[in-house]
A and B are shown apart, each in its own frame.
Chain A
C-alpha cells in the first residue's frame, strides 16, 4: 500500500502543480477515443438533421439545425462539467437528484398534452423533457443502492427494494404516456442488477419474465406470422402504449420506413432525390425515424458508418465498465452503456421493421434537445469514470 504522501509526491514529480499541467494530465486520462466517437456522432447527426429537415419549414432550412446545434453546444458544456466531476459526488447527491426528478415527472403530468401525451415542460425557448434526465438520475440512485449491498451480494430482498425505489419514476413516465422511455428506465434497473452482480437466477427470472412476455406478444410471434392477438387488438395495444408513435395507421410508418431504408441502396439517393424524406412519406423523419432518412439519403455506406460509430461507442463504454474504480461507478457505467445499446438497437431495429414501433430517440441523432443533453451528460459521466479508473489504476500500479 502506498502512503498518501508518496502518491502526492509522485504526482507532483510527474505532473507538476501548475493548473494547466494538472488539467492537461487529467484530460489525457479521459477516454479520448470515446470523446472523438461522440464528437463524430454529434457532428454527423447535425449534418443529417440539416439535410433531412431542409424542406420541413419552408423558408427556414436551418430551423431544426440551429436548435439542435444549440442543444449540442449546451450538451458539450454539461459533458465537460460531468467529465471533470468525480462521479462519487453524484452518489452523494443522489437523493436530492432523484427527488427533483420525481417532482419534475409529476409536474409534467400537469401540463397540456401535446399529441395526447404529457412529456414536455415548456421552458420558452425549448421544451424540457424530464424523462430523459430521469434515466441518469435513476441510474445513479440504483447504482448507489446496489454498490452498498455488502458482501453477501445482491439478493431478492435488495432487488425488491431497488424495484420499489425505481417504480415511481418508471410509472410516472409510463402514464405520460411514454412507453419507450419507461422501457429505457426498466433497462437502467435491469442493467444495474446485472452489473452489480445480482444472482443469475434473479437476472434470468426477471429478464425471462419481462422480455419473454413482451417479445412473444408484440414481436416474435407476429413477425413470424403467428398472431397471438388479432390485428386490431395488437394495434390497440401498441396504440395504447404509445399513441404518438403511430398517428395514422399502425403499419404505415414502418412500411414507409422500410421503404425509405431499402430505397437508399448502397450509396444513397442524396438529399434531393430522397423522396420518402423530402416528400413527407416518412413520418417523424427528424426524430424517431431519423435513421431511415439517413439510410435513404446516404445508403448502406452512410448508415453503416453510423452503426460503426455506435459500435465503437458501446465498445468503449463496455471497456469503461471494466475500468471503473469502484463498484458504484462500474454499475453506473454499466447502466449507461446498456441504455445506449438498448436505444440504438430498438430504434434502428424499429426503422427496419425488426423491432416494435416504440418511440425512442436515437442518441445524438434524433432531433430533440433533452435527448441530446441527456445523452451527452451520460457520456460525460462515462468519461469521468474512465479518468478515475485510469488514475486509480496508475496509483495502484505505482504504489501497489
Chain B
C-alpha cells in the first residue's frame, strides 16, 4: 500500500513527529504567562469598571459639556397696542445667524468671518468687534445678523463644513403694522451694550440680550421682554452644529403694553402736522424754513397722552432685524432737520405768547396780594400801546394800538405791551418778594421735566436772576435787568419750553388749575388675553392732578381770555375756531428763536443764520361753561411763522378727529386769513 507522502499541507506524517514533552520549567513558564495575563486582564477590567460604572455619570457630564453650548434666548417680546387695542408694535418671524467664536478653529477665524461678511453683507470689522467684546467667553454666541432672508440660512446649513461655529436659528423681530405711527414714542430694540449690561441686574440681563433702547421699548422693557430661556446647541469637535437647538429652559413671553394713545387721533395729528408744516411755507415768505414740528394732545382730566407727534419722523423698522445704518445715521443729521429728535419731549423752543396765561396767572396771584403794587382785577384796565419804553429800551407791540384793556381782552388779542407792563411790575417788586413770575412758572411745570414715562425728555430753561448770575460771564450780562422781566412776561428772554410742558400748562387751564402728570402707558396686560376684555397685570395710575394753589377765579379769568381768543372778533385764532361746532379755547404764539440752518437744509445752497418765528397754538376743548374739557392740545411748527396761521389749523384737525366733528368748509381755507397774527 502506497503510504501518503509527507507533505506540508493537512495531516502530517505522525511517524516523523517526535513526541514533544514539556519540561517542568517550560510548563512553569506557561503558568507564569497565564498568571500575568490574568492579572493584566484583571487590571483592565477593574479600570473599565471604575471608569464606566463607578464614575460614569461624571464622564457623561463631561462628554455632554464637551459639545453642548448654552445660549440665552430672548422671550417673545410683548406687543404694544393703543388705547382701543389696535396693534402698534408686533413681532414677525425671522432667521438669526449666530457665531460661537470658541468653536471656530483659530486658523479658520479669518476665513469664516470673511465668508459670513460676504454672504450676509455684514462688515467683517463689526464681527471682529463683537468677538473682542466676548473676551474669549466660550458660552456666548455673537449675533452676526438678526434678520437673514432666505435662501442664505439654507446655504449656511448646506455648507456647514465651511461655517464652523455658525448657528442658524429662528427668531422674531419687531414689526410695525401702522408704519411710522408714533415712531418717536415706540422706540426700538437692539442688542444690549456693555454699559447697559453693567447698569442692570445680571440675573435678568445677559450678553446678547435684546433690550429696548429708546421710547416705550426702553421704559417698559422689563414688562415687554419676558424671561429669557436657555437654548442648548450641540457642536462636534469641528465646530459644526450637530442638530437643531433644543430648549433647556423655555423662555416666557413678555406682556402686552396698552398705551393711552389713540392711534386714530395719533394718525390725524401726524398727518395734520406733516401737511401743516409743508403748508406753512406757502403761507408766509418768512416761513420758508418750516421743516419740523410737534403736536401733543392729552386728556386734561388725568394727563393721559392721546396723541404725540413729532415731525420729521422716520420708519422704526430701520432698527428691526438688520439695522439700516445709513438710515439710522440720517436721523441725527441737521440737514434733514434731525428726524430722530422727539420734538414733543426734547425739542426746546421759546413759547412766546402761549406763555402769556402763565404771566397772567402769576400776576393775578402775586400782584393782587401786595399793597405796594396796584391791584389787578378783571375790571382794571391796563393800557395796551404800540410800544413802551423800559430802561431806555423800546419794546413794541405786534400791532399799533392805544387802548386800555382788561386782562381777558389782552389775552384774546395778545397785547404785548399789556404784558410788558405786568413784567415790569414783577421787576419792580421789592427784593424780598423774590421772582414770583418764575416761582409760578415753575409750579406750572416749567424748567423741569414733566416725568412722562418715556424719555429722553428735556427740562427746558426757566431763567431767573440766580441762573443769570451763574450762566453769564460779564458783570453786565450777569445782571437781571428790567428788559429780562419784560420779555419773559411774553414768553421770550431765555425761556425755553418743550411742547409737552406747554400742553401740560394748558391742561391745567382746562381743568381749573390742576397740574397733571403726563403719561402714555395705561396698563400691562397678559399677552394673548382678549383685547376688549384683557387680563390686566398692572395698571399705571399716575399721580392725580394736583392743585398748585391757584385761585379758581383767576383761572376762570384766563379761561375767559382764551375763549375770547378763539371766538371774539379780536381773538387771534377766531378765524380758525370761531365757527367750529365744539367750543375750543386757545392761544396763539409766535416766538423768535435764533437758528443756524446748515447748507442743504430744505435744499438751501448756503448756511442761513438768524431769528426765525416759531409758530405755536395751545388750547383745549370743549370750552363751554357746562362742559368739562376732554382734550388739551399744543401745536408747534418750527420756523413756521405766525402761530395763528401755521399752528392753529393743525390743532383744529386734531380736535376734529377727537370730537368727530368735521371742520366747517369755510374754515378749511387756511390762507385766506389775513391780519390775524400773533
Binding site for B on A (CB under 8 A): 2-4, 7-8, 11, 22-23, 25-26, 84-86, 89, 194-195, 197, 256, 258-266, 269, 275-276, 278-281, 295-296, 299-300, 303-304, 307, 310-311, 314-315, 318, 321-322, 324-327, 330, 334, 337-338, 341, 345, 348-349, 352, 354, 388, 391-396, 400
Minimal beta-carbon separation of B305 from chain A (angstroms):
56
Q: Given that A86-B8, A262-B58, A400-B19 are known contacts, is A311 also in contact with B26, CB under 8 Å in the complex?
A: no
The CA of A235 and the CA of B19, in the complex, are separated in Å by 52
The CA of A262 and the CA of B33, in the complex, are separated in Å by 30
Are the CB atoms of B41 and A310 closer together than 8 Å?
Answer: yes
Are the CB atoms of A86 and B48 closer together than 8 Å?
Answer: no
Are the CB atoms of B8 and A388 closer together than 8 Å?
Answer: no
Contacts of A26 in B (CB 8 A): 10-11
Chain B residue nearest in CB terms to A395:
B14
Chain A residue nearest in CB terms to B56:
A265
Are the CB atoms of A261 and B48 closer together than 8 Å?
Answer: yes
Chain A residue nearest in CB terms to B23:
A197
Are the CB atoms of B12 and A259 closer together than 8 Å?
Answer: no
The CA of A333 and the CA of B190, in the complex, are separated in Å by 75
Are the CB atoms of A25 and B11 closer together than 8 Å?
Answer: yes
Are the CB atoms of A275 and B14 closer together than 8 Å?
Answer: no
Minimal beta-carbon separation of B320 from chain A (angstroms):
36
Listed by A's residue number, 26 A-B pairs whose Cβ atoms lie within 8 Å are A4-B13, A8-B3, A23-B10, A85-B8, A194-B29, A195-B30, A258-B51, A259-B63, A261-B48, A262-B56, A266-B52, A275-B66, A278-B242, A280-B237, A280-B238, A295-B51, A318-B30, A322-B27, A326-B17, A326-B18, A330-B26, A345-B44, A348-B44, A388-B12, A391-B14, A395-B14
The CA of A345 and the CA of B41, in the complex, are separated in Å by 7
* Cβ-defined partner of A263 (8 Å) among B25, B27, B63: B63
Judge if B15 is at the interface, Cβ distance under 8 Å: yes
* Cβ-defined partner of A265 (8 Å) among B9, B10, B53: B53
Are the CB atoms of B11 and A391 closer together than 8 Å?
Answer: yes
Contacts of B236 in A (CB 8 A): 275, 278-281
Main secondary structure of the interface of A (DSSP, over half): helix
Contacts of B64 in A (CB 8 A): 263, 275
Q: Given that A195-B26, A259-B62, A275-B66 are known contacts, is A327 also in contact with B20, CB under 8 Å in the complex?
A: yes
The CA of A25 and the CA of B49, in the complex, are separated in Å by 43
* Cβ-defined partner of B41 (8 Å) among A11, A258, A259, A311: A311
Judge if B394 is at the interface, Cβ distance under 8 Å: no
Contacts of B14 in A (CB 8 A): 2, 7, 11, 391-392, 394-395
Judge if B40 is at the interface, Cβ distance under 8 Å: yes
Chain A residue nearest in CB terms to B160:
A58
Are the CB atoms of A322 and B237 closer together than 8 Å?
Answer: no
* Cβ-defined partner of B29 (8 Å) among A22, A195, A315, A388: A195
Contacts of B62 in A (CB 8 A): 259, 262-263
Minimal beta-carbon separation of B7 from chain A (angstroms):
8
Minimal beta-carbon separation of A377 from chain B (angstroms):
16
* Interface range for B: 35 or more
The CA of A276 and the CA of B60, in the complex, are separated in Å by 10
Contacts of A393 in B (CB 8 A): 19
Judge if B322 is at the interface, Cβ distance under 8 Å: no
Per-residue A-contact encoding for B150-184, CB less than 8 Å = 1, 0 else = 00000000000000000000000000000000000
Contacts of A276 in B (CB 8 A): 63, 66
Judge if B67 is at the interface, Cβ distance under 8 Å: yes
Per-residue A-contact encoding for B41-61, CB less than 8 Å = 1, 0 else = 101110111011101111110
Judge if B37 is at the interface, Cβ distance under 8 Å: yes
Judge if B418 is at the interface, Cβ distance under 8 Å: no
Minimal beta-carbon separation of B233 from chain A (angstroms):
12
Minimal beta-carbon separation of B524 from chain A (angstroms):
43
Minimal beta-carbon separation of A226 from chain B (angstroms):
20
The CA of A391 and the CA of B14, in the complex, are separated in Å by 7
Are the CB atoms of A330 and B20 closer together than 8 Å?
Answer: yes
Minimal beta-carbon separation of A313 from chain B (angstroms):
10
The CA of A330 and the CA of B19, in the complex, are separated in Å by 13
Contacts of B48 in A (CB 8 A): 261, 295, 300, 303-304, 307, 348, 352
Listed from nearest, the 7 A-B pairs whose CB atoms lie closest are A262-B59, A279-B236, A4-B15, A265-B56, A395-B14, A263-B63, A396-B19
Judge if B476 is at the interface, Cβ distance under 8 Å: no
Minimal beta-carbon separation of B375 from chain A (angstroms):
91
The CA of A255 and the CA of B47, in the complex, are separated in Å by 15
Are the CB atoms of B17 and A264 closer together than 8 Å?
Answer: no
Chain B residue nearest in CB terms to A278:
B236
In the complex, besides A263-B62, A280-B236, A392-B17, 17 extra interface pairs with C-beta distance below 8 angstroms are: A194-B29, A195-B30, A256-B66, A261-B59, A262-B55, A262-B59, A263-B64, A275-B64, A279-B242, A295-B48, A318-B30, A341-B40, A348-B48, A349-B47, A388-B17, A392-B14, A396-B19
Judge if B660 is at the interface, Cβ distance under 8 Å: no
Are the CB atoms of A263 and B56 closer together than 8 Å?
Answer: yes
The CA of A8 and the CA of B1, in the complex, are separated in Å by 10
Contacts of B12 in A (CB 8 A): 86, 388, 391
Minimal beta-carbon separation of B67 from chain A (angstroms):
5
The CA of A326 and the CA of B20, in the complex, are separated in Å by 5
Are the CB atoms of B235 and A279 closer together than 8 Å?
Answer: yes
The CA of A325 and the CA of B20, in the complex, are separated in Å by 5
Minimal beta-carbon separation of B465 from chain A (angstroms):
76
Are the CB atoms of A307 and B45 closer together than 8 Å?
Answer: yes
The CA of A349 and the CA of B45, in the complex, are separated in Å by 10
Minimal beta-carbon separation of A282 from chain B (angstroms):
8
* Cβ-defined partner of B15 (8 Å) among A7, A280, A315, A345: A7
Minimal beta-carbon separation of A5 from chain B (angstroms):
8
Judge if B22 is at the interface, Cβ distance under 8 Å: yes
Judge if B610 is at the interface, Cβ distance under 8 Å: no
Judge if B34 is at the interface, Cβ distance under 8 Å: yes
